[in-house]
Amino acid sequence: MHEQLIHLGQQFQEQRERKSLSLKEVENGTSIRVNYLEAIEAGQFGMLISPIYAQGFIKKYATFLEMDGEELMQQYPYVMQLLQSNQSSSEDFSFGIGSLEVRNSPGSDIKWLPNLMWVVLSVAVILGGWFIARSLGVF
């Protein structure tokens, strides 16, 4: 099965080279980072973000190279099966937990400061309005 992944990656690489395109040119044309393009061409689909991104990257890369992405996905259905099995073994990433902000990170202890500023500003506006109304004789 690993050989088939490499074969799929080689198809992308050969088509890119036929068109005399560098990976940087493909990155600029597809907005897929070079390291992901390299992973696709090397048949290392496990290095891609997730099965959904992998499928999107493969289709977008294929379209850019004027290949049929849907046909490639049908020819290599095990690519998605492999990616999904790899993802299910990684509990952290399956729910996107790995991309969440780390708690107690530097600077996290001053997150209350903007709220405090709004409270102080609100109190100042209320007190200012009260003093102005009092000096005008409204109260």
Quick: pLDDT tens for 6-18.
888 898 999 999 9
Q: What is the pLDDT of residues 56-86, one digit of tens each?
A: 888 899 999 999 888 877 887 776 666 666 5
CA distances from 1 to 6, 61, 76, 114, 119 (A): 9, 22, 10, 54, 62
Burial of 36 (0-12, 13-18, 19+ CB in 10 A): buried
Asked whether residue 80 falls in the same domain as residue 133, the answer is no
Q: Range of 40's domain?
A: 2-89
| Residue 73 lies inside a defined structural domain of this protein | yes
Q: How far is CA 26 from CA 14, 38, 81, in A?
A: 13, 11, 26
Q: Does residue 76 fall inside a structural domain?
A: yes
Examine residue 68 and state whether it is found in any structural domain, yes or no.
Answer: yes
In a domain, 129, yes or no: yes
CA separation (Å) from 123 to 31, 34, 64? 48, 53, 58
